[in-house]
Amino acid sequence: MKSFFNALQEALSQATLSNASQPFEHNGINFIAEASAFNVKVWLNSPYFSGDEGAHIWVSSVTPTDIEFNHRGNVFRNCETYAEKAKAVAEKAQALTLFSELLQYFSETEGSDRIFEKEMARLHTLAHEKVKSDREMNDVKVEEKRLELIEKGYKKATREDAARTVKAAIKQAKDAKGIVTLTILNITRDGKESTTTIDINGEGKRIKLEYREPNGYKEPIKTISFVEQAVQDSYIKA
């Protein structure tokens, strides 16, 4: 019969970045193993106790001696009879015993820093490759969006374009003694259009500037140069 450690290793070998949590069974007890490039966590997956994670053990691959043990999940659930409660307690006791065996295994081998090294390294490589792939994909999306905007008659605003645009908007707000809104169009890192607006209020003796985001966030702007910087490198009609 394979050991608890071997069962855990087998579960971790199935972990991926998109599916890090891997359920596994040992001696009739259900567990969940979760791995990342930085740590491993395994907890009791019991229907008999409340709590999101229940009893668990957590091992860091960054700091070898950083091992957390927790016996959370003390409140019964789905236990209507004493027999069910007895089964729940027995199951948890078995799980805790397996956790203690795992810690004993650490003490008898070269250390917890080496135990999950292979799986940690694999996930770390996957994470690095995904970041690189996402960055390359986003670069393609940004370029596609840039060309799309150019085809629609937009261009990237220069410093001169920004100064001219802001100056014209301020004059318009003063002449109208009202509010003129500048809509600033940009491309996000993942190649999507993003718009923010700046309200230029020319009702009083001094103009008032306010920055607004689509989510409702507002913030007063103190200087015209800030507005010019916001417009610069954004996309405006050519």
How confident is the model over 208-223, as pLDDT tens digits?
Answer: 999 988 888 889 998 9
Strands 193-201 and 56-60: what pairing? unpaired
Examine residue 193 and state whether it is found in any structural domain, yes or no. yes
Residues 9 and 123 in one domain: yes
The helix-helix angle for 159-176 and 224-231 (nearest 10°) equals 130
Examine residue 176 and state whether it is found in any structural domain, yes or no. yes
Contact 29, 88 (CB under 8 A): no
Residues 88 and 197 in one domain: no
pLDDT of residue 55: 53
Examine residue 136 and state whether it is found in any structural domain, yes or no. no
Residues 74 and 184 in one domain: no
CA–CA dist 173, 162 (Å, integer): 16
Question: Dihedrals φ, ψ of 131, to 5°?
Answer: -60, -45
Tally of domains in the chain: 2
Examine residue 70 and state whether it is found in any structural domain, yes or no. yes
Owning domain of residue 41: 4-127
Q: 55-64, 90-99, 205-214: lowest mean pLDDT where? A: 55-64
Residues 70 and 121 in one domain: yes
Examine residue 138 and state whether it is found in any structural domain, yes or no. no
Beta strands in the chain (DSSP E): 21-26, 29-35, 39-44, 56-60, 67-70, 154-156, 179-187, 193-201, 208-212, 218-221, 235-237
Residues 123 and 159 in one domain: no
Examine residue 146 and state whether it is found in any structural domain, yes or no. no
Give residue 62's pLDDT band: very low, low, confident or very high (50, 70, 90). very low
Give residue 141's pLDDT band: very low, low, confident or very high (50, 70, 90). very high
